[in-house]
Structure 1
Amino acid sequence: MCGIYGSTVKYEDEIIFQKLARTNFRGPDYSGFERTGPVILGHNRLAIVDLDHRSNQPFNYHHLKIVFNGEIYNYRSLRIKLVAMGYRFTTDSDTEVIAAAFMEYRDNCVNHFNGMFAFVIYDTQTRQFFGARDRLGKKPFYYAHSGYDFEFASQPSQICIGRDVTIDELAINEYFIWGYVPEPKTAWNEIKKLEAGHSFRFDCNTGNFTSKKYWDLDLGRIELYKGSYAEAQTDLTRLISNAVDIRLHADVPLGVYLSGGIDSSLVAALAAKSYKNVKTFCIKFNEKGFDESVFAQKIAAHLQTDHHTITCNKEEGIELIEHFGQYYDEPFADPSAIPTLLLSKHTKKHVTVVLSGDGGDESFLGYSRYKWFNMVDQLFKCPLAVRKKIADVIRISPNYRHKLIALGICNSKISSLYGLTLGGLEYSWLNNPNIGLQVPFMDIWSSKSMSILQKLSAFDTKTYLNGDINTKVDRGTMAFSLEARAPLMDHRVVTFAQTLPDSYKFKSGVQKKILKDILYQHAPAQLFDRPKSGFSMPLNHWFKNELRDHVMDHLSISELQNIPGINVQKSYAMINEHMSGKWNRASQIWKLLVFSQWLKNQNLKAVSTYQVA
């Protein structure tokens, strides 16, 4: 786990040092760069496998130079195959295996890797770059390209140093809907994200940049699993067990995040079978309704792990909120990023690698919105006029959720409803929310061969898991030089889950059924007999109390006028609505607060990439 950088732009050494220093938290064990002709390659290393200095990067392998961020979990078996083909190795690192695999398989090398990765190889003979990002977007990759100038980095702020950049207003509108900027856009016009499951080539001789997809869910060609439910349990257990086992290899201390939920408990249970005295970590909030640490402690006691409970105090949480932008670079509004930062900060005191349960909800239908969408799907088969009449009846109820349902079923399409549910449905404070809803992968919703649950699972895997969860975990852990590994995001597990019938994952109101049944072979079911709780924090309460002055100062009328794409008066009214207790607007306020803070750190000019009719 590291930070990579490269460029063909002729920067002075001082600028390169600044770019590497900006993200030295990603790799504090070694930092350096090399110049080869017109090419600069730089690296910040967090040493995980083969701690020897010989594995420092940029790494040279024959006529290839490589910088690499991530882990290739199957590198040892792949190395054995390459040795049999005549390749020789001087280190025990996965970096060298990537370079050798590229020499043997060329662009197809990515299909041989099981891991999380963003890497770039420079061929000194052809003067070409080849690079790739892992299948599910676990590791970030940003780049800027103009003519013969090409620059890439693990975080966009590195690219911003030493160049002129402008804000993309359309991307910001998408941020206000989704809570992050969906790929391939970023908050800047000049910087893009390499999409998950894509590789690229850049030719220094011609200035030509091309990217191509090497992996996808292949939704149109997936055949449903033909075996029985019991057989599916056996096959899935084997896959997840192997995914956990190959992620337990490290030359540094290792632990597991244990929230007390289904996914992290399953990962912890399987890790405890293979890893003696495994350390587990959870976070504790004192606010009622936000503390699940007692459940995590009970599960840890049953699994006999070395458990650590980290208490989140208000002062530490508020301090992170006030300095949020320096960790996340881009506008990013998932409030669970704060507890992720806190948990990572204290976990790092004990281990350098941690396994998590990320990916289980998307593949095995765990989010509460899946149950809700499964119900309203039938309503969306009724004409809009009929749904509006139903909404008129429902909105009479004083219940907050009933009002949300009334708002939701008045949308013309269920796909539009999905985007709006992420932020509370009500977006009258945006000048034009509809333009922010049209993001990549919306075509999934038009599929006639997929059920609503299959569409939700696939769409979340391609968007929310990639853009939100992965960004949250990468920035939150790397801020404190901690590596996070997610066995349930092993592409084999994700692909297998897509083939399972809905009833294996969601049956009689029971979500993640097959995962739960596998977990119950390792821990008593009664330990999990409670409603699902997200990894969240009490922003609703804090904004009206401890952070009230902070919110009102940073989101005053004059401050709101600096934010593109919003209706200032409606936004200010919405904030006051929250402060009075009339409506919970914590999600929207958090988006505005994060963006306002980010904007102050940019000192940039907004350049519109769309026109409002």
Structure 2
Amino acid sequence: MCGLLGEFVYGKACLTAFETFDALLALSKQRGPDSNAIMGGSYYQLGFNRLAVLDLSAKGNQPQYSPSQRYCVVFNGELYNYKRLASEHGLHNLSSHCDTEVLVHLLDVLGIEATMRSLDGMFAIAIVDTVNRTLYLSRDFAGIKPLFYGFGKQGVVAASQFDQIFKHGFFKSDLRLRPSVVKGYFGLGYMQAPDTIYENIFQVRPGELLSVSATGDVTSTLLTQFEGVGTTTIPEAAEVSEFDRVLSNVVSEQLVSDVPLAAFLSGGIDSPLVCALAKKHKPDLNTFTVAVASEQHDESEAANDYAAFLGTEHTTAPMDASVMLGHLDAHFQSLTEPFGDYSSLPTYMITKLAKGEHTVMLSGDGGDELFFGYPRMQDVIRKRGWFSIPFMIRKPLVRLGIKLKLWHSWSPYLYRSLDAFVMSKHCHISLKRLEALMPNTPFAEALERLYKVPNGMSDGALLHWLRYNEFYGHMQRVLVKVDRMSMANSLEVRVPFLAKDSIAYAWGLVPEQRHGRFNLKGLLKTVLSLHYPKRLIQTEKKGFSVPMYDWLHDVLKPDVMRVVFEHAFYGAAVLDVAAFRQYVRDFFDGKHKEFWGVWHVYAWQKWAISSGLV
């Protein structure tokens, strides 16, 4: 929902000319097509493109000043608890029913840090304190909404989109790649906060409050971080009933909208649960799913069964190679940063279809991360013991065991440490090949820390740490995908599982162990059975995907060959272009099957070309 742009200069530095600033703001027009405005003073200017969702009148437009005129604010997102906050703090003199007005009033009442701590929602906020001449940037605790910023000699630029920073006059003539972050992109397919591929350009971390003074002094406060081990062990029946109540209340709050609202519905567990609860509060709920022309990837039949049981008006978006090709370039032009998750293609398609009649959608994202939904978590716990054996002893043991057919996994043979094994679960170019492509290049420090497994943990504590890693790692890539593709179609996506109450409840749980194995996602499966007959509930996890291996070998191959081999390769100053091209050539020659990695290379080039960088 919406796109913001802010500029804050030091000392006597000059602001960017209005026309130039307005052109940069227009880069995020698709994020907020309903109105746009720019406000500011001698040392700052804030611009906003609005997607109107609450109070469609001009009273909801931004930027807005607080009643005291001390704070100038631009705010992208939704505050689900704004009505409660207005009541708790006696905000009775409101002229609208939009959350932005509540936010600016709260700043006068509570101040900045206390206000940020009180918010429940998805948000990226830029605030200029005109009394203390300070810029504040803050982002929601789950990282749902994006917020980029860059430090130039003249001052700071903040924006919803990466391209609004690197195309700004403070930076565009001096873009220097950071090899360590570029390496992370090629492995994981996205830029992990707080870093970006460029020096001096960053991302606000989930739950962070950043302040920049008039002299350029920076202070960072992490207001919210979810970590630690759960302690809640309550009887299953009570546990199921309580979480059903918590999520139902969350969904009810997220149904508040002055524009048409619907929901995504897959054949899995998370979105069917969200839809079942939403249907109880909104009887006329519409639902949407994608039908993929591949039995291995298609969940549309199961989604149709869920929709039929709920009685929703259900729409299915067909997704085959010809449909994909028709929207391929528009999809890539919507990616204003390097991003390599190819499930962005069906996400683009379904959000485009949903936008035909709706402006807000509910999704089931976050359920896997919060409720231990990934089988790879169990795999790490099952094999962790191998990594206590020195690598040079472990390698021949693994080889001998496989030869004698005592076990089948090569993982303890391939990875020196448990850290590397965990990272390999998220890396789509094998770590060995990635090292060959970018030798002597470490990963960025923040990424190394994210994948550093603490020593001496029990299996239960390790499982909780793996959830922390998924939440602040892989889930961030999922949220980038959903935000960028939905905003490309001027569609807001709300994520009930990532409300504060839902996260807090999930984080306190101790997963049940059965026969030495954890019952991953057991709570959600049980809660789902309260709303659907068991015959409908799917246990096989397919994910939101398409047959990319086949498409790369068929309909996509000509374009891959064109952008990788015939076009200038972006980043040649820090990358071994010949090695990357050989990696792609080896895939087509059948020497490896890392189609994800090939997509990362392809997506890198498509982004660079559409951004005018090569």
1:110 alignment partner in structure 2: 116
Q: CA deviation at 1:179?
A: 1.2
Q: Amino acid of the residue matched to residue 56 of structure 2?
A: L
| AA in 2 matched with 1:8 | F
Instruction: Please give the per-residue CA displacement for 1:286-318, whole angstroms capped at 9, x wherever unaligned.
Output: 123121101100011111111111112323312
Task: In structure 2, give the amino acid aligned to 1:415.
Answer: D
**What is the distance in 2 between the residues matched to 1:105 and 1:12?**
34
- The residue that corresponds to 1:546 in the other structure is 555
Give me the whole-angstrom Cα distance separating, in 1, the residues matched to 2:579 and 2:404: 24
Note if 1:77 corresponds to 2:81: no
Cα displacement (A) at 1:135? 0.4
> Which residue of structure 2 aligns with residue 442 of structure 1?
450
Does residue 387 of structure 2 align to residue 377 of structure 1?
Answer: no
2:484 partner letter: R
Is residue 523 of structure 2 the alignment partner of residue 517 of structure 1?
no
Q: Distance in 2 between matches of 1:321 and 1:392?
A: 44
CA distance in 1, matches of 2:136, 2:581: 48
AA at the equivalent of 1:56: N
User: Aligned residue for 2:22?
Assistant: 17
SS of 2:89 mapped into structure 1:
helix
> 1:433 & 1:515 partners in 2: Cα distance?
44
Structure 1 residue ranges (4+ consecutive) displaced by more than 6 angstroms after TM superposition:
394-398, 504-507
> In structure 2, which of residues 491, 509, 512 is the aligned counterpart of residue 503 of structure 1?
512
Question: Quick check: 2:177–2:574 contact (8 Å CA) kept in 1?
Answer: no
Q: What is the aligned partner in structure 2 of residue 412 from structure 1?
A: 416
How far off is 1:604 after superposition?
5.3
1:463: Cα distance to partner? 1.7
| Match among 220, 231, 239 for residue 232 of structure 1 | 239
Please state how far the C-alpha of 1:486 moved relative to its aligned partner. Answer: 0.7
Alignment correspondent of 2:43:
38
The amino acid across from 2:410 in the alignment is A
**How far apart are the structure 1 equivalents of 2:584 and 2:156?**
42
Equivalent residue, structure 2, for 1:96: 101
Contact 2:66-2:104 within 8 A present in 1 as well: yes
1:603 CA drift (Å): 5.6
Alignment partner, residue 484 of structure 1: 493
Write the letter of the residue equivalent to 2:50: R
**1:9-408 matches, cutoff 5 A:** 9=9, 10-62=15-67, 63=69, 64-83=71-90, 88-106=93-111, 107-146=113-152, 149-163=155-169, 164=172, 165-204=175-214, 206-219=215-228, 222=229, 224-393=231-400, 405-407=409-411
- 1:486-518 CA deviation, whole Å, 9 max, x = no partner? 111112222222221121799856531110000
Equivalent pair of 1:506/1:512 in contact (CA under 8 Å)? no
Contact 1:331 1:598 in 2 (8 A): yes
RMSD in angstroms over aligned alpha carbons?
2.6
Secondary structure of 2:94's aligned partner: coil
**Cα shift at 1:599:** 2.8
Distance 1:383 1:162, change over 3 A: closer
Render the CA deviation track for 1:210-242: whole Å, top value 9, x for unaligned. 2211111142xx551142222222222221111
The answer to whether the 8 Å contact 2:230/2:510 transfers is no
How many angstroms does 1:561 deviate by? 8.4
Query: Which range moves more in the overlay, 277-286 or 31-40?
Result: 31-40
The alpha-carbon distance between structure 1 residues 583 and 148, as it changes in their structure 2 partners (threshold 3 A), is: closer
Deviation digits for residues 141-165 of structure 1, max 9, x if unmatched?
Answer: 1111235512111011112234223
- Partner amino acid for 1:446? P
Q: Deviations over 1:554-594 (max 9, x none)?
A: 22287558546555555444433432445322111001111
Q: Output the CA distance in 2 between the equivalents of 1:138 and 1:568.
A: 34
* CA distance in 1: counterparts of 2:152 and 2:219, whole angstroms: 13
Which letter maps to 1:417? F
Change (3 A) 1:437 1:153: closer
Q: Is the Cα contact below 8 Å between 2:422 and 2:451 reproduced in 1?
A: no
8 Å Cα contact 1:142-1:155 kept in structure 2: yes
Which of 424, 438, 444 is the equivalent residue of 1:431? 438
Q: How many Å separate the matches in 2 of 1:556 and 1:171?
A: 23
User: What is the letter of the counterpart of residue 206 of structure 2?
Assistant: A
Equivalent position to 1:494, from 494, 500, 503: 503
Aligned AA (1:145): F
Query: Matched residues in 2 for 1:65 and 1:430: separation?
Result: 47
Report deviation, 1:364: 0.8
Aligned length: 595
Give the Å deviation of 1:415: 1.3
* CA 563–373 in structure 1, closer or farther in 2 if over 3 Å, else same: farther
Give the Cα–Cα distance (whole angstroms) in 2 for the partners of residues 170 and 444 of structure 1: 16
Please report how far the alpha carbon of residue 326 of structure 1 lies from its aligned counterpart in structure 2 after TM superposition: 2.3
Shift of 1:284: 0.8
> Alignment partner of 1:65: what SS?
strand
Amino acid at match of 1:59: Q
| Range with greater deviation from structure 2 (333-342 or 408-417) | 408-417
Instruction: Return the TM-score normalized by structure 2.
Output: 0.91
Distance in 2 separating the partners of 1:207 and 1:574: 43
Change (3 A) 1:564 1:171: farther
Aligned residue for 1:310, secondary structure, equals strand
Q: What is residue 611 of structure 1 aligned with on the other side?
A: none
| 8 Å CA contact 1:267, 1:356 repeated in 2 | yes
Aligned partners of 2:413, 2:512: CA distance in 1, in Å? 26
8 Å CA contact retained: 2:339, 2:603: yes
Distance 1:161 1:557, change over 3 A: closer
Cα separation, 2, equivalents of 1:521 and 1:507? 27
CA distances 1:431-485 after superposition (whole Å, capped 9, x unpaired): 238712753443761153453321211111112212x011111101000000001
In structure 2, what is the equivalent of residue 4 of structure 1? 4
Tell me if the contact between 2:7 and 2:158 (Cα under 8 Å) persists in the aligned partners. yes
Give secondary structure in 1 for the equivalent of 2:3: strand
Instruction: Spell out, residue by residue over 1:191-212, the C-alpha distance to the aligned partner (whole angstroms, 9 max, x if none).
Output: 11111101122223x3322221
Structure 1: which amino acid aligns with 2:512? Answer: S
Q: What does the per-residue CA deviation read over 1:407-445, in whole Å, with 9 as the maximum and x for residues that have no partner?
A: 554312111122223215354242238712753443761
The Cα shift of 1:101 comes to 1.4
Deviation, 1:52, is: 0.6
**Unpaired stretches in structure 1, ≥5 consecutive residues:** 606-613
- Tell me if the contact between 1:75 and 1:97 (Cα under 8 Å) persists in the aligned partners: yes
TM-score, normalization by structure 1: 0.91
Q: Secondary structure at the match of 1:167?
A: coil
AA partner of residue 361 (structure 1): D
Q: In the aligned structure 2, how far is the partner of 1:563 from the partner of 1:536? A: 31
Aligned partners of 1:99 and 1:121 also within 8 Å:
no
Deviation at 1:365, TM superposition (A): 1.1
Return 103-112 or 338-347, whichever deviates more: 103-112
